[in-house]
């Protein structure tokens, strides 16, 4: 279901005044008129029903009606998931950002890997990627705010990981690799409770040997997805989808002894 992602705080009586791009999207694209109802996501992540009060002088006045915290509260049972991505080409990164927003991933952490050939002018494109996130959330109805972290070098990435391990009691790091480095599975890694999970995916060309050693030394587990070699953007979505499916359906799985 489509939701409008609201960034502007609601006043004490539930009213919000919107201008600029928000006005254009709701009035020109969605063609909303006074009296019409629509769904939106509030800044803190809850969903709400809103009514258009007026639309004049390039300003839209809306009023929030029923606010539902149900979907927002349900996500509190899932660990905080972060995608770590070695910066690929811009077009691939556009797709990854859109997919992660649609998949309700709260944090994307890009880093300049040894095989990265893009990402040096990240800040000049940040507004475009933020717009992609907003459009993806509005299209998919995601109630999760997806944040795009500034790009890090590999040393900075490992520091980020250490900070998260100190912040969260039970952290899990997994990096995807195109070769079998150790025997591991998503089910095996997720067989106990975690409150923070980081999934690392390499750029075109994968991780370098230095990066593999760095991830391993920092406590990351390697994961090999059997079958064909996946493109960067496919691996990111594949990995996140597998993680979230197992986490959301963990109570329904039956673990039977072998033999």
pTM recorded for the entire structure: 0.78
pLDDT at residue 181, as a whole number: 55
Architecture category of domain 78-252 in CATH: 3-Layer(aba) Sandwich (3.40)
- Domain range list for the chain: 4-70, 78-252
Indicate if 78-252 has the same CATH topology as 4-70: no
Q: With the CA atoms of 173, 108, 194 and 254 taken in that order, what torsion angle do they form, in degrees rounded to the nearest 10?
A: -90
pLDDT digits (tens), the chain, 259 positions:
578 888 888 888 889 999 998 898 899 888 999 988 988 888 777 788 889 999 999 999 999 887 765 544 445 578 999 999 999 998 999 999 999 999 999 999 999 999 997 655 777 788 899 999 988 988 888 888 899 998 999 999 999 999 999 999 999 999 998 765 566 788 888 888 899 999 999 998 899 999 999 999 999 999 887 777 889 999 999 999 999 999 988 766 655 454 4
**Which numeric CATH code is attached to 4-70?**
2.40.240.20
């Amino acid at each position: 279901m489509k939701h409008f992602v609201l960034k502007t705080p609601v006043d004490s009586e539930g009213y919000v005044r919107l201008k600029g791009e928000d006005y254009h999207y709701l009035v020109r694209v969605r063609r909303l008129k006074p009296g019409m109802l629509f769904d939106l996501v509030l800044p803190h992540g809850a969903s709400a029903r809103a009514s258009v009060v007026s639309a004049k002088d390039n300003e839209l006045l809306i009023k929030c009606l029923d606010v539902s915290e149900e979907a927002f509260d349900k996500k509190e049972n899932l660990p905080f998931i972060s995608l770590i991505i070695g910066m690929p080409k811009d077009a691939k990164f556009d797709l990854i950002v859109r997919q992660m927003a649609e998949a309700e991933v709260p944090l994307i952490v890009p880093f300049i890997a040894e095989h990265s050939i893009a990402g040096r002018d990240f800040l000049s494109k940040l507004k475009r990627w933020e717009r992609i996130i907003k459009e993806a959330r509005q299209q998919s109805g995601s109630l999760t705010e997806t944040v795009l972290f500034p790009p890090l070098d590999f040393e900075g990435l490992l520091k980020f990981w250490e900070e998260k391990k100190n912040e969260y009691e039970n952290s899990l790091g997994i990096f995807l690799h195109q070769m079998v480095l150790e025997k591991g599975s998503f089910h095996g890694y997720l067989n106990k409770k975690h409150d923070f999970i980081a999934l690392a995916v390499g750029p075109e060309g994968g991780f370098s040997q230095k990066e593999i050693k760095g991830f391993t030394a920092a406590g990351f587990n390697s994961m090999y997805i059997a079958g064909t070699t996946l493109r960067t953007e496919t691996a990111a979505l594949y990995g996140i989808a597998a993680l979230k499916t197992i986490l959301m359906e963990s109570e329904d799985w039956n673990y039977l002894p072998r033999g």
